[in-house]
């Protein structure tokens, strides 16, 4: 389940809207790039683990899944903030 995060309030004494929008766009792009790198640019194969024992590949696989989930959590956080700053309270396309 995707969490709903608390969104910032744009006001006179707070951070500027353009600055926040730029920062969340940059975060979104960075985490999107990290997801692509993890899934496609980093070799991950059993042959790199079997010398360490039979169970190590399973452990490495579970660890990688945990990392993918963590990156996805940051991705969702950045995506929700980016969308909110661009469209306000309008729901994300996959929430309708």
Mean pLDDT of 55-71: 96
pTM, rounded to two decimals: 0.84
Cα-to-chain-centroid distance, residue 96: 21
Place of tokens 């306000």: 88
Which is nearest to 36 in space by CA: 65, 12, 68? 68
| 31 to 57, 58, 65, 77: CA distances (angstroms) | 26, 26, 16, 10
Residue 92 near residue 79, CB atoms below 8 Å: yes
Confidence at residue 1, expressed as pLDDT on a 0 to 100 scale: 55
Q: Mind listing the pLDDT tens digit for each residue in 10-43? A: 888 999 999 999 999 999 999 999 999 999 999 9
At 93, the pLDDT band (50, 70, 90 cuts) reads confident
| 88 to 52, 54, 70, 76: CA distances (angstroms) | 51, 51, 26, 16
Confidence at residue 94, expressed as pLDDT on a 0 to 100 scale: 78
**Residue ranges of domains in the chain:** 17-90
Q: Cα(37)–Cα(67) distance, rounded to whole angstroms?
A: 12
Q: Mind listing the pLDDT tens digit for each residue in 37-48? A: 999 999 999 999
């Amino acid at each position: 389940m995707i969490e709903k995060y608390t969104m910032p309030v744009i006001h006179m004494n707070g951070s500027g809207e353009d600055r926040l929008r730029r920062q969340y766009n940059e975060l979104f792009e960075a985490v999107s790039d990290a997801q692509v790198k993890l899934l496609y640019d980093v070799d991950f194969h059993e042959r790199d683990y079997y010398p360490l024992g039979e169970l190590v590949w399973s452990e490495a696989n579970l660890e990688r899944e945990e990392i993918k989930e963590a990156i996805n959590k940051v991705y969702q956080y950045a995506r929700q903030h980016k969308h909110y700053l661009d469209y306000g309270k309008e729901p994300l396309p996959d929430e309708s």
